[in-house]
């Protein structure tokens, strides 16, 4: 189980999919990410690509995000996310989509997002998919990428520039923002 760190759902736990198919973001890393995004979460529309445990989604809702869309291609993962949506009574503000990130990004999406979390499997990071995700960001939106600390991320990704990167153990967190 993972416990939500802050906000109106603080202290509540969520169920996890089997460990063999997910790699949840640690509490320390989640706290650091949300401390960085503190001024952006309230009222935000959030996309959680490769949602895994859904921890980033539920932490976003707990901290005041308006809407979160969780996308994952694994049936077991999406089933657990839907169970957690019910468990936390957030059905009106969290949507779970069973689709690969790649297919989701090329579907007829009308939604634009303020924050996109992308935490692909470390061995399968695809910069083209991340660049495609940038096209769904609002003008001042942020793409938060979680990857291996050994991954060399480009300074420019699509129409965005890297703002900062941080290393936490073997995890690298990068923040990209669209350049004008």
pLDDT at 20 over 70: no
Tokens of 18: 């089997």
Over range 138-165, report the average pLDDT.
Answer: 91
> What's the average model confidence in pLDDT over 113-126?
88
Segment 110-129 shows an average pLDDT of 88
**Please, are residues 82 and 14 in contact by the beta-carbon 8 Å criterion?**
no
CATH number at residue 11: 3.40.50.150
Using one digit for the tens of pLDDT, what is the confidence trace for 82-97? 999 999 999 999 999 9
The verdict on pTM exceeding 0.85 is yes
Report CA Rg, the chain.
15
pLDDT reported for residue 19: 66
pLDDT score at 162: 94
**Residue (of 95, 114, 116) closest to 105 by Cα position:** 116
- At 175, the pLDDT band (50, 70, 90 cuts) reads very high
Number of domains in the chain: 1
pLDDT of residue 1: 81
* pLDDT of amino acid 23: 67
Among 14-23, 53-62, 89-98, the minimum mean pLDDT is found in 14-23
What is the per-residue pLDDT across 26-41, written as a single tens digit (0 to 9) for each? 889 999 999 999 999 9
What's the mean pLDDT in 161-175? 94
**Across all residues in the chain, what is the average pLDDT?**
91
The pLDDT confidence band at residue 121, using thresholds 50, 70 and 90, is confident
How far apart CA 23 and CA 179 sit, in angstroms, is 31
Full residue range of the structural domain in which residue 155 is found: 2-178
- Contact residues for 163 (Cβ-Cβ < 8 A; gap 6+): 142, 175, 176, 177
Mention every residue, 6+ apart, whose C-beta is less than 8 A from residue 135: 105, 158, 159
């Amino acid at each position: 189980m993972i416990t939500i760190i802050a906000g109106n759902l603080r202290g509540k736990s969520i169920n996890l999919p089997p460990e063999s198919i997910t790699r949840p973001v640690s509490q320390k890393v989640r706290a650091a990410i949300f401390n960085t995004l503190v001024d952006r979460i309230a009222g935000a529309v959030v996309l959680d690509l490769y949602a895994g445990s859904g921890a980033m989604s539920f932490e976003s809702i707990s901290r005041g995000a308006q809407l979160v869309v969780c996308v994952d291609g694994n049936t077991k993962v999406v089933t657990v996310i839907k169970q957690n949506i019910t468990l936390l009574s957030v059905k009106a503000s969290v949507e779970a989509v069973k689709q690969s990130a790649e297919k989701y990004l090329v579907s007829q999406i009308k939604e634009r997002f303020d924050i996109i979390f992308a935490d692909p499997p470390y061995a399968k990071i695809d910069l083209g998919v991340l660049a495609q995700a940038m096209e769904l960001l609002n003008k001042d939106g942020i793409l938060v990428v979680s990857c291996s600390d050994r991954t060399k991320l480009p300074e420019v990704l699509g129409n965005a520039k890297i703002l900062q990167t941080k290393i936490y153990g073997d995890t690298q967190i990068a923040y990209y923002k669209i350049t004008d």
